[in-house]
Structure 1
Amino acid sequence: MTTSRTQRVSRASGACALALILVTSGCSSDEPSVESRSDSQSAAFGASLDADYGEGGPGSLESAQQLLTIDRRVSGVSSVAARVVYSSTSGVDGSPQRVSGTIFAPEGTPPEGGWPIIAYGHGTTGVLEDCAPSTDPELLGSSQIVAALVRSGHVVTVSDYQGLGLEGTYHPYLDSRTVGNNLIDSVRAARKLIPEASTKWAAFGGSQGGQAAWAANELAGTYGAGLEMVGSVSLVPAADITGLAAAAASGTLTDDQKPLLQWVLVGLAKSHPELNLDDYRRGIVADKWDELSACGGVLAADRTSLAAQISDDDLRPATPEATAKLAGYLQEMSLPKSAAAAPMLVVYGGKDTLISQPWTDAAIAAGCANGDTIQSVLQPNSGHADIDGAAAFGWLTDRFAGTEAISFCPILVP
């Protein structure tokens, strides 16, 4: 019996709504939560797959290997499940970068025009090399949402993001341009691995991945030229994080925001070697820096209990000048930067203690002022991990179908 695309979407939507809770919980409660794993729990890679390895530049494929131990919920609906290494571009300095990730293709016959692509932006998994979803059979919590998206008839890419999964670079945590570039280039890489893939694509993610999806939309018309972006979904996005600086200075960081800022500082120290970390860390943050920076292994074992002990003074900038410098760096990393190329759906919570509602309100207002088409949905009683993202599936289906998007932005008067 042939299963229609509409039936596949209907079946997947329930699983998708549940999976969104899992995905957005990646940086919700005390801190970005990542379970350590043993070598026996690591993903295994098999033989190289046939692909177009010939052309260089952003999105070019260096390698594509079969994933041997991927979650059966994903492998059971995929004709291709691969771990890839591809070329991308740093958003910090424009340098070429090698990035790893995973690519999945549906079973069956592609629709006319090819399989539509969804670049899925995962939530926070960590800031070090061993924090990559591609090295874990369950993609560090993303496998259920990936399975739902593949089952509904999409090629799905999951970039690890620069610095997660490969040696020789670092992860500029919450730098929007970098992760936006990484998502766009994962789409290019997918088209080199999956000949039946379409040029039409969407970005979809939560938390850090929500930032990545928003950034990819803004970059789609320039850096992403040659592809056809239809829209982006950002759930509880880390869009405008500039407020972390003032909150650190005033001692009003929430318990969730303290370990978040510590991971931001890990990346900033690499992106900006001139930054004096000792202007921003003392007490347990200075003493247990390596443990707080880890996402797996022995060092990460006590991270939750250590993060709960961070005091207001442990992350307070040493001087007003240090606060201003941090705010400047955070502004460089935040969104929006420019007008978006395609419609956006932004869903966020009024009780979010990680990414404060006023920060997201400000980012949406600035996007509207840029002329963006934004359907924003504030769920006043939701936090960061319990957001209801069920509307995302139907919204994406409409964008791929060419249905005009609704904008909640005020009409701009010339």
Structure 2
Amino acid sequence: MKTLLNALLVAVAVMAPVTATVTPARADVVCDDWCQGAWAQQRANALPRTAFYDPPSPLRRAPAGTLIRQQPATGYTVPAGARVTRLLYHSRTAGGRDVAASAVVLVPSGTSPHGGWPVVVDAHGTSGMARDCAPSLMRDLYHGDQMARFLDRGYAVVAPDYAGLGTDGAHALGDKTAAADDVVYALQAARRAVPGLSRSWVLWGHSQGGAAALAVAERQVRHPVDGYRGAVVTSPAASLDKIAEHAATGPGLGAFIALIAAGAHVSDPGIDPRRLLTAEAVSRLETTRTGCLGVVSAVFGDLTGPDLVRPGYLTDPRFARFLETNSTGAQRVAGPVLLLQGQADTVIPAWMTDEVAETLRRSGSAVDYRTYPGLEHDTYPGQTVGIDDGAMPDILAWVANRFGHGIDAGSTAADANSASGPRRRSAG
């Protein structure tokens, strides 16, 4: 089950109308109850950000994937006996600049098996843009419930934060090249830091992380990293122009267009959010510097359409170029890929992923596309089940098959929380 911390807040943003004016947490403005509740949940789930996350200054250039430091870490909600190691490592921006990034490595209890623990690399969904929005600074690790399912089956998990989350600098949210670098180099740093990892690895990415996973799979075609066995991609934020339009017009989704605009500015400083967002939306952007997704969802939840974005924002030349350049799913990817989508998803509608699957098929990519009736983007406790939880039996079976554990990847174990099993559509 997706963590209550952010999932419930996003559920409210997506499913319930906003009746109160929500304002950013500035000194001259008081948050409403929803905003204050979001801050309280963020603080309750937070771990202290220590000097571990501060890279050396200046950061002397080193090969990407080089380990800067590591430390054993506690305070997380993980299965009994699991061990967690924090990493600080060298990654790269899209422009090739050396940058520090953080990650965690989780290994199951006991000693590693012969050949090492198979590795699942987790590319996480949108958590925010502030330093404290790093999953490694959250007690539940953001996707920790799903990570536990992998640990229970004897797999290690490598979970990068993305540069600018945890570390200093700024997070280039939406920049597919930077995200792919962070993921690949986290794996390389993990191999240097933690003994007992197998050479075999599978990538798993959800939402923003689903786009990152597709970017890594694109990269594998040109610059393969050994041991790759395929990728599980759930509800990917692949077509950024379509997602930006959907977020700008969908009730309660304003946080996502605000984060995309802010991330685009980090990637290309020539992109000015003031040309994309209304003055009221721009006045609330300061919240993205400290608040994570739940907080930002509360702050932007009452803005949509012309109250949120300026006319013609999608045709701003630099912003349009950013959206096109950083969209995924249009190029051939290294496979196999298990692409999963909930048909009840209100954040990434199923039609978007249908188009991604068809485009990948035409590119010659090996994609097993499955859709699931009744599954949402994330699990919203007491309301709906998300794709990662509802499809987890199929994810585990497919991953086991990729690691050669003899489980039939074609079998579909309908989840108890799902009305029915998936509709399977092979592409390629």
Separation (CA, whole Å) in 1 of partners of 2:5 and 2:13: 15
Tell me the equivalent position of 1:308. Answer: 301
Say which of 59, 70, 82 aligns to 1:64.
70
| 1:105 correspondence with 2:81 | no
Do the aligned partners of 2:366 and 2:427 also contact (CA within 8 Å) in 1? no
Separation (CA, whole Å) in 2 of partners of 1:343 and 1:259: 33
Counterpart amino acid of 1:278? R
Counterpart amino acid of 2:212? A
Tell me the equivalent position of 2:398. Answer: 395
Do the aligned partners of 1:45 and 1:65 also contact (CA within 8 Å) in 2? no
| 1:278 correspondence with 2:277 | no
Separation (CA, whole Å) in 1 of partners of 2:277 and 2:285: 9
Separation (CA, whole Å) in 1 of partners of 2:274 and 2:222: 38
Separation (CA, whole Å) in 2 of partners of 1:290 and 1:127: 11
Counterpart amino acid of 1:282? T
Separation (CA, whole Å) in 2 of partners of 1:86 and 1:303: 28
What is the DSSP-based 3-state SS (H/G/I as helix, E as strand, rest coil) of the residue aligned with 2:118?
strand
Do the aligned partners of 1:20 and 1:145 also contact (CA within 8 Å) in 2? no
Do the aligned partners of 2:67 and 2:89 also contact (CA within 8 Å) in 1? yes
Deviations 1:364-399 (Å, cap 9, x if unpaired)? Answer: 111111211111111243321222222101110001
The Cα of 1:294 is off from its aligned counterpart by: 3.7
Do the aligned partners of 1:265 and 1:277 also contact (CA within 8 Å) in 2? yes
| 1:243 correspondence with 2:254 | no
Do the aligned partners of 1:239 and 1:334 also contact (CA within 8 Å) in 2? yes
Tell me the equivalent position of 2:21. Answer: none
Deviations 1:97-127 (Å, cap 9, x if unpaired)? Answer: 2110101122334333222111012221111
What is the DSSP-based 3-state SS (H/G/I as helix, E as strand, rest coil) of the residue aligned with 2:149?
helix
Q: What RMSD, in angstroms, separates the aligned Cα atoms of the two structures?
A: 3.1
The Cα of 1:81 is off from its aligned counterpart by: 1.3
Do the aligned partners of 1:118 and 1:204 also contact (CA within 8 Å) in 2? yes
Do the aligned partners of 1:82 and 1:103 also contact (CA within 8 Å) in 2? yes
- CA, structure 1 residues 231+243, in 2 after alignment: closer, same or farther (shift >3 Å)? same
Tell me the equivalent position of 1:93. Answer: 95
Aligned residues: 372
Do the aligned partners of 1:205 and 1:211 also contact (CA within 8 Å) in 2? yes
**Matched ranges for 1:149-164 at <5 A:** 149-164=150-165
The Cα of 1:144 is off from its aligned counterpart by: 2.4
Do the aligned partners of 1:263 and 1:293 also contact (CA within 8 Å) in 2? no
**Matched ranges for 1:336-347 at <5 A:** 336=329, 338-347=331-340
Comparing 319-328 with 302-311, which one deviates more in the overlay?
319-328
Tell me the equivalent position of 2:184. Answer: 184
The Cα of 1:328 is off from its aligned counterpart by: 2.4
Tell me the equivalent position of 1:289. Answer: 285
Say which of 58, 82, 89 aligns to 2:85.
82
Do the aligned partners of 1:44 and 1:67 also contact (CA within 8 Å) in 2? no
Separation (CA, whole Å) in 1 of partners of 2:70 and 2:344: 41
Separation (CA, whole Å) in 1 of partners of 2:4 and 2:214: 19
| 1:204 correspondence with 2:210 | no
The Cα of 1:162 is off from its aligned counterpart by: 1.2
Separation (CA, whole Å) in 2 of partners of 1:122 and 1:177: 15
Separation (CA, whole Å) in 1 of partners of 2:121 and 2:90: 15
Deviations 1:249-284 (Å, cap 9, x if unpaired)? Answer: xxx621243210100111111211112222111143
Say which of 259, 264, 268 aligns to 1:268.
264
Separation (CA, whole Å) in 2 of partners of 1:268 and 1:179: 13
- CA, structure 1 residues 338+40, in 2 after alignment: closer, same or farther (shift >3 Å)? closer
Separation (CA, whole Å) in 1 of partners of 2:128 and 2:249: 20
Deviations 1:29-64 (Å, cap 9, x if unpaired)? Answer: 527x88421698437799xxxxxxxx9422111111
Do the aligned partners of 2:314 and 2:320 also contact (CA within 8 Å) in 1? no
Do the aligned partners of 1:121 and 1:210 also contact (CA within 8 Å) in 2? yes
What is the DSSP-based 3-state SS (H/G/I as helix, E as strand, rest coil) of the residue aligned with 1:384?
coil
The Cα of 1:69 is off from its aligned counterpart by: 2.0
- CA, structure 1 residues 211+29, in 2 after alignment: closer, same or farther (shift >3 Å)? farther
Tell me the equivalent position of 2:251. Answer: 255
Say which of 110, 114, 137 aligns to 1:135.
137
The Cα of 1:343 is off from its aligned counterpart by: 0.6
The Cα of 1:292 is off from its aligned counterpart by: 5.1
Structure 2: tracts of 5 or more residues without a match: 15-37, 53-60, 379-385, 411-423
What is the DSSP-based 3-state SS (H/G/I as helix, E as strand, rest coil) of the residue aligned with 1:191?
helix
Do the aligned partners of 1:244 and 1:253 also contact (CA within 8 Å) in 2? no
Do the aligned partners of 1:373 and 1:405 also contact (CA within 8 Å) in 2? no
What is the DSSP-based 3-state SS (H/G/I as helix, E as strand, rest coil) of the residue aligned with 2:151?
helix
* TM-score of the two chains, using structure 2 as the length reference: 0.77
What is the DSSP-based 3-state SS (H/G/I as helix, E as strand, rest coil) of the residue aligned with 1:164?
coil
Deviations 1:119-170 (Å, cap 9, x if unpaired)? Answer: 012221111212111122222x322222222221112111001110011x21
Tell me the equivalent position of 1:351. Answer: 344
What is the DSSP-based 3-state SS (H/G/I as helix, E as strand, rest coil) of the residue aligned with 2:334?
coil
- CA, structure 1 residues 110+339, in 2 after alignment: closer, same or farther (shift >3 Å)? same
What is the DSSP-based 3-state SS (H/G/I as helix, E as strand, rest coil) of the residue aligned with 1:101?
strand
Separation (CA, whole Å) in 2 of partners of 1:20 and 1:40: 13
- CA, structure 1 residues 23+245, in 2 after alignment: closer, same or farther (shift >3 Å)? closer
Do the aligned partners of 2:46 and 2:138 also contact (CA within 8 Å) in 1? no
The Cα of 1:286 is off from its aligned counterpart by: 2.1
Do the aligned partners of 1:231 and 1:342 also contact (CA within 8 Å) in 2? yes
